[in-house]
Amino acid sequence: MADEVLVKVDHVSKKFCRDLKQSLWYGVQDIMSEVTARKYEHELRKGEFWSVNDISFELRRGECLGLIGPNGAGKSTLLKILNGLIKPDKGRIELRGRIGALIELSAGFNGILTGRENIYSRGAVLGFTKEEIDKKLDAIIDFSELEEFIDTPVVNYSSGMKVRLGFAVAAQMEPDVLLLDEVLAVGDVGFRAKCFNSIYKMMKNAAVILVSHSMPQINRVCSDILVMNHGQPVFQGKDVPKGIDKFYSYFQGEEGGIILGNGQATIHHISLNGNDSNDIVDIAYAEKLWLDFRITVNSAISKFDIIIGFLNQELQIIAQSCSNYQEVTFVNKNKAMDIKFELDNIILNPGTYSLFINILTENNGEVLCKHYNIRKFNIVGHFYGYAPVQFQGNWTF
């Protein structure tokens, strides 16, 4: 059934103890309490904390849940509970069908065995017979692109090769539930694209849970999202962009304003849409953006170019405009110069962005000054399209 619930998590919690000796003693107490049917689970004892606290969700066939949050939020712990590696202290989990998991790079691999032998080993764990694995073997090796090394012991594999082999087995064995924990972060670009295409195909008949710190990956494949922090759910639902914004909100206080270059140019102040403060400016989608800033350039530099661009919340350059591309070259007036840049329509997806300004010698030469990750602003309103790589603006000086 297309809408069959394959994963049901009902008020699941898991606690750990910070002190090793105390943790061992608590473990003995828990074993004894289970024997006497009086499990100690409702309160935290000295040194304990909730790594996962009261998590509930359902995932149906054909859905992909993005599990995100800051480091230490409890995401990997939750995935290990789902995979049966550790027991929850409270709550109930129901999983239906075959479970495929890539939680750690070397999980499930025997380093002494070859890649081919590990395929049979992992396939057996998933419940396949030798005859069934024989039929899928060529497809697994072909997907992993490890034909030359398939009979090499896995201990000699790189982390990327282990990911290739592990994902190839998980994909070709066609699990009903697939758990992925950051493992695709080490793969090369071509193989990651191949994996995501495979996830799209598997989602037709499987439920996928993906843990990643790459928000483009989450936004690309996930139909549902769960944001965790300190073990607790802080946002969940089908509004994936809103969940991603919640995730980014935990990093708004990160230090910005990095200044690079050889120091022969200086930016004295920056005003965004008439706002001279460092407050985040709200700009409506497709509205005008203008930037005023004052600079001084060493008198030894007669002409220079300026690049202005936008960074997303992962500090990736998503769009930029270079004065040189528009056949504008600035002539040094040997005094403070007021520069104004205007953009008639700012076509960016709703979200938070920051600016960078780069001053170079003529024809994109030496970097005189570069202000990176400065003056944050929000794009608010409706979404109509994606930002172009290059945009045009009007320069005056």
Written as one string, the DSSP assignment of 203-230 is: TTT-EEEEE-S-HHHHHHH-SEEEEEET
SS3 for 129?
A: coil
Amino acid letter, residue 7:
V
Nearest to 319 by CA among 365, 264, 387: 387
Locate 336 and state its tokens. 């403070």
Which run of H or of E encompasses 269? strand 265-272
Tell me if 131 sits within 8 A of 114, measured CB to CB.
no
pTM over cut 0.85: no
pLDDT, greater one: 358 or 160: 358
pLDDT tens-digit map of 106-163: 566 888 899 999 999 888 877 788 898 999 999 999 988 899 999 999 889 888 888 8
Q: What is the pLDDT of residue 175?
A: 84
Q: What is the pLDDT of residue 27?
A: 73
Tell me if 340 sits within 8 A of 292, measured CB to CB.
yes
DSSP string, 45-59: -TTEEEEEEEEEEEE
Tell me if 288 sits within 8 A of 281, measured CB to CB.
no
Tell me if 279 sits within 8 A of 377, measured CB to CB.
no
pLDDT, greater one: 159 or 3: 159
pLDDT tens-digit map of 62-104: 899 999 998 888 998 999 899 888 888 889 999 998 887 777 6
Query: Which residues are bridge partners to 390 per DSSP?
Result: 320
DSSP string, 227-239: EEETTEEEEEES-
Residue in this structure with the two tokens 């499987």, named with its chain if needed: 206
pLDDT tens-digit map of 5-44: 999 999 999 988 887 777 787 777 777 777 666 655 557 7
pLDDT, greater one: 326 or 237: 237
Locate 239 and state its tokens. 């509004």
Show the domains of the chain with their CATH numbers: 5-249 (3.40.50.300), 258-396 (2.70.50.60)
SS3 for 371?
A: strand
Q: Is the pLDDT of residue 254 over 60?
A: no
Q: Please, what is the end-to-end C-alpha distance for the chain in angstroms?
A: 65
Q: What is the pLDDT of residue 152?
A: 92
Mean pLDDT is highest, among 210-219, 230-239, 312-321, for 230-239
pLDDT-derived band at 385, boundaries 50, 70, 90 = very low
Q: What is the largest CA-CA distance in the chain?
A: 86
Question: Cα–Cα distance between 355 and 315 in angstroms, integer?
Answer: 10
Nearest to 47 by CA among 10, 75, 15: 15
pLDDT-derived band at 384, boundaries 50, 70, 90 = very low
Least confident of 23-27, 79-83, 304-308, 309-313: 23-27
Q: Which CB contacts under 8 angstroms, 24+ apart, belong to 271-280?
A: 272/355, 272/375, 272/377, 273/377, 278/375, 280/352, 280/376, 280/377, 280/378
**Torsions phi, psi for 309 (to 5 deg):** -150, 175
pLDDT tens-digit map of 231-252: 999 999 998 888 888 888 777 5
Q: What is the pLDDT of residue 390?
A: 42
Q: What is the pLDDT of residue 388?
A: 41
Query: Which residues are bridge partners to 237 per DSSP?
Result: 225
User: For all residues of the chain together, what is the average pLDDT?
Assistant: 83
Residue in this structure with the two tokens 């004295």, named with its chain if needed: 268
∠170-174-177 over CA atoms, to 5°? 80
